[in-house]
Amino acid sequence: MVAGLLSWPQAVFASKVDIKDKQAEVVREIDGGLETIRVKLPAVITADLRLNQPRFANLPSIQKAKKKPMAKMSPKDLGVDIKPHLEYLSYEEPPKRQGGGRVSSVDELISKLKEKGLI
């Protein structure tokens, strides 16, 4: 949806990304193996689990991070517009479902389905 709203190309489930000459070469896993696609930048790229190996912080690094100050910023400080870009015209609940019925035999089921025009 983001790519559609921005009119940007998209590459999904990326397991490897190389950026060269204002283009991204994306390798993704499909049922038959690997697929390589090339998209122009800017683009929306979604990642597969294999794109990156997570790093785990050690205890001294965690302790140092706790001592560092964290600056609070607002979207205005970052120059980000947060007004909604979609307009909701209406909200409606789905219609209430009717309860089902029980039949005692296959013949009765078939006759009820024929009455309703389902078979």
Predicted confidence (pLDDT) per residue in 17-66, tens digit: 999 999 999 999 888 899 999 999 999 999 988 788 788 899 999 999 99
The answer to the question of residue 104 being in a domain is: no
The answer to the question of residue 17 being in a domain is: yes
Please report which confidence band the pLDDT of residue 84 belongs to, taking 50, 70 and 90 as the band edges. Answer: confident
Mean pLDDT of 86-103: 88
Please report which confidence band the pLDDT of residue 74 belongs to, taking 50, 70 and 90 as the band edges. Answer: very high
Q: What is the pLDDT of residue 101?
A: 84
Q: What is the pLDDT of residue 87?
A: 87
Q: Is the peptide bond preceding residue 95 cis, with omega within 30 degrees of 0?
A: no
Q: What is the pLDDT of residue 39?
A: 96
Domain count, the chain: 1
Which residues constitute the domain of residue 14? 1-50
The answer to the question of residue 69 being in a domain is: no
The answer to the question of residue 114 being in a domain is: no
Percent of the chain with pLDDT over 70: 100
Asked whether the predicted pLDDT for residue 86 surpasses 90, the reply is: no
User: Up-side HSE of residue 50: CA atoms within 13 Å toward CB?
Assistant: 10
> What is the distance between the alpha carbons of residues 29 and 12, in angstroms, rounded to a whole number?
10
Kindly report the average pLDDT of the chain as a whole number: 91
The answer to the question of residue 87 being in a domain is: no
Higher pLDDT residue, 71 or 49? 71
Question: Is residue 3 helix, strand or coil?
Answer: helix
